[in-house]
């Protein structure tokens, strides 16, 4: 919030000082240190505005500045103004992040598109197995053993044993191999796990075939899980901890 306030102050200085005829100065105008500092701040703000603001209404900006300076009646109160600015920057950050994710996904598609295709073909063939069930999301599973306990919810924490492989059989993680069960919140894992766990009763053991979009998608996870990897897990739900 401090940075936002500093940016607003700098913008006020820049726009207010240049509102008559922006840019209509020569180097002779930089006579004192404060003259040079003022101009440098204006340059810095100009660069910041051009890279962070798609549009800005100069007239309303100056009006807001002058209303405060003249102690006039402002159109919105101080708290509302702060919320408006925070909301704008939050939306801007989300927009930038989404754009970056889209660019990263396109790059990953070029480099790892074959892995995505292999996973899709595997899942398409896998449904021919009569033991395989498919949910609306595309998650596939086989019931290896049914349980008799309760089903977990998204509010619960569970204790499980699992064995995770890629479609070529590469083991990337296994509590079974380590000999120690693990526990975590139902929503603290990939989407395929969160959905799959809620299908199981305590004591059950399922085999999950998780499409890449329910796993890590275009992201790499560790040395073995490449972007767009489809994952296979054998999961045993040992216990629901602190049932809500």
Do 167 and 118 touch, CB atoms closer than 8 A?
yes
**Active-site residue list:** 162, 172-173, 190, 216, 233
In sequence order, what DSSP letters do the residues of the chain get, joined into one string? Answer: -HHHHHHHHHHHHHHHHHSSSTT---GGG--SHHHHHHHHHHHHHHHHHHHH-S---HHHHHHHHHHHHTTPPPSS-HHHHHHHHHHHHHHHHHHHHHHHHHHHHHHHHHHHHHHHHHHHHHHHHHTTSTT-EE-TTS-EEEEEE---SPPP-TT-EEEEEEEEE-TT--EEEEHHHHT--EEEETTSS-HHHHHHHTTPPTT-EEEEEE-GGGTTTTS-BTTTB-TT--EEEEEEEEEEES--
């Amino acid at each position: 919030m401090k940075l936002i306030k500093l940016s607003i102050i700098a913008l006020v200085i820049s726009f207010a000082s240049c509102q008559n005829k922006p840019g209509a100065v020569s180097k002779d105008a930089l006579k004192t240190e404060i003259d040079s500092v003022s101009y440098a701040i204006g340059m810095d703000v100009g660069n910041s505005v051009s890279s962070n603001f798609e549009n800005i209404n100069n007239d309303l900006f100056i009006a807001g500045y002058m209303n405060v300076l003249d102690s006039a009646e402002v159109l919105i109160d101080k708290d509302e103004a702060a919320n408006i600015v925070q909301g704008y920057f939050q939306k801007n950050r989300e927009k930038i992040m989404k754009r970056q994710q889209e660019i990263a996904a396109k790059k990953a598609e070029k480099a790892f598109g074959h892995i995505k295709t292999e996973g899709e073909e595997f899942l398409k063939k896998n449904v021919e197995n009569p033991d395989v069930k498919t949910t609306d999301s595309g998650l596939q599973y086989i019931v290896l053993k049914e349980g008799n306990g309760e089903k977990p919810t998204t509010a619960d924490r569970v204790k499980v044993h699992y064995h995770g492989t890629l479609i070529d059989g590469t083991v990337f993680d296994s509590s079974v191999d380590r000999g120690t069960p693990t526990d975590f919140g139902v929503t603290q894992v990939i989407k395929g796990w969160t959905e799959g766990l809620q299908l199981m009763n305590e004591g059950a053991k399922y085999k999950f075939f998780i499409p890449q979009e329910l796993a890590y998608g275009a992201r790499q996870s560790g040395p073995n899980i490449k972007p767009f990897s489809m994952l296979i897990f054998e999961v045993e739900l040992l216990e629901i901890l602190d049932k809500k």
